Amino acid sequence: MLLNEIIDLIPNINKCLKKGKTLIIRIDINSPIVNGKIIDDFRIRAHSYTLRLASDAGARAVVLAHQGRPGQDDFTSLEIHKPYIEKYLERPIKFVDDIIGPEARRQIKELKDGEILLLENVRILSEEVIEKVPEAQAETLLVRKLAPLADYYVFDGFAVAHRSQPSVVGFPIVLPSCAGPVFERELRALGAVFEKRGRGVTLIAGGAKIPDTLKAVEQLLKNGFVEKVAVGGLVGFVFALGKYGVLNSALKQEVEKGGFLPYIERARQLLAKYGAQIYTPVDFAVNQNGRLDVDIYSLAQPPLDIGRSTTIAFKEVIEQSEIVIFSGPMGYIEDERFATGTIELLKAASNRRLILGGGHTIMAAEKAGVLDKAYHVSTGGRAFIQTIGGEEMPAVKALLTSAKKFSL
């Protein structure tokens, strides 16, 4: 079934926007954070539209979202997101340093029409980082404590649609549910692109989501969704090791650091099967008195970007394409010296039908000045990769189940 056909089976947000009714709205405002500060607020901007719809309709909005994962540097309170939401909403919202405790439940009950309450980072709850089937997630404390206080559930977090977690798949089992506008727009845009899949479509894949990217590359090539794939970032390191072997300790150490050495063999198998369609880096940039490009055989320091020769080769691939799907940066874009490869490729891709996926990709596109030139900008990272790879999304399945169970 095509994505557009699937989304037509799920009630849209208008069915849930009723004055005086309490909505639990799952959004995704997980943003790039450096030194405790949000450095790109694209997702917050996108979801502020959803919250404005709820507020303008007189609904009472209870917002669930996350930031980072426990143990990671960007795992923080959502209180720092509050002023950004207020900025784009142009109205105040409430925030509570609680999720399912007495204070959170009290504030939910006391919400007035049109008010918005942002709950604390939902991943503070240990059960939120465990994936189970929707029926099991409906029995979690999160769902059992909050669902009785709500009339409807709205899922708008496309970027977490691949997660079978309580805040994503648990609520649709027990509440009438709707698809939010960001989520609906994502599926319709990707559906329109896939109707034109095939020859002339190139995937530029970077970032650090190794298992998902490998799976997506295989599915996209196998099903003929894309004609060519160019890989950079940590994904490019893995493919380079798969193609050239363990040439030096610097490249191996970067892959080993993330626990991705087992995936080198998988990359090698993909290269053996689709080698003519997969383009890998031939040089990298390192930090040696600034930026220095080094060929793959001479690499002795941690690679931080694709090198000049690789950038030129990838740009040639882009110039031969009609549609470019860009998911994940080519290097450490937080440092301008090592954002060069990503920005140059984005500028080249902006002359084609460009589809952007993932928070860091969006941040790079803003730096490159091409965000407004993109055909579609996806809020998803891993979810985007899985969707273009043709995988079933747990959130979609849960919403379809809810649509059958409840009449809206």
Q: Is 369 annotated as a binding residue?
A: no
Q: Is 358 annotated as a binding residue?
A: yes
Q: Is 28 annotated as a binding residue?
A: yes
Q: Is 359 annotated as a binding residue?
A: yes
Torsion sign over Cα 323, 328, 329, 330? negative
Q: Is 197 annotated as a binding residue?
A: no
Q: Is 334 annotated as a binding residue?
A: yes
Closest listed residue to residue 268, CA positions, set 297, 245, 247: 245
Q: What are the contacts of 104-111 at 24+ separation with CB within 8 A?
A: 105/145, 105/146, 105/149, 108/22, 108/60, 108/62, 108/146, 108/149, 108/150, 109/149, 111/22, 111/60, 111/61, 111/62
- The tokens 């997630």 sit on which residue? 137
Q: What is the DSSP string of 222-235?
A: HTTS-SEEEE-HHH
**Residue pair 249/241 in contact by the 8 Å Cβ criterion:** no
Q: Is 361 annotated as a binding residue?
A: yes
Q: Is 376 annotated as a binding residue?
A: no
CA distance 127 to 58: 32
Q: Is 30 annotated as a binding residue?
A: yes
Q: Is 206 annotated as a binding residue?
A: no
- The tokens 């999720």 sit on which residue? 99
- The tokens 């709820």 sit on which residue? 54
Q: Is 71 annotated as a binding residue?
A: no
Tokens of 293: 């490009």
The C-alpha angle with vertex 57 and arms to 53 and 63, in degrees rounded to 5, equals 55
Q: Is 341 annotated as a binding residue?
A: no
Q: Is 67 annotated as a binding residue?
A: yes
Residue list, annotated binding site for substrate = 28-30, 43, 66-69, 123, 163
Residue list, annotated binding site for ATP = 334, 358-361
Residue list, annotated binding site for (2R)-3-phosphoglycerate = 43, 123, 163
Residue list, annotated binding site = 28-30, 43, 66-69, 123, 163, 334, 358-361
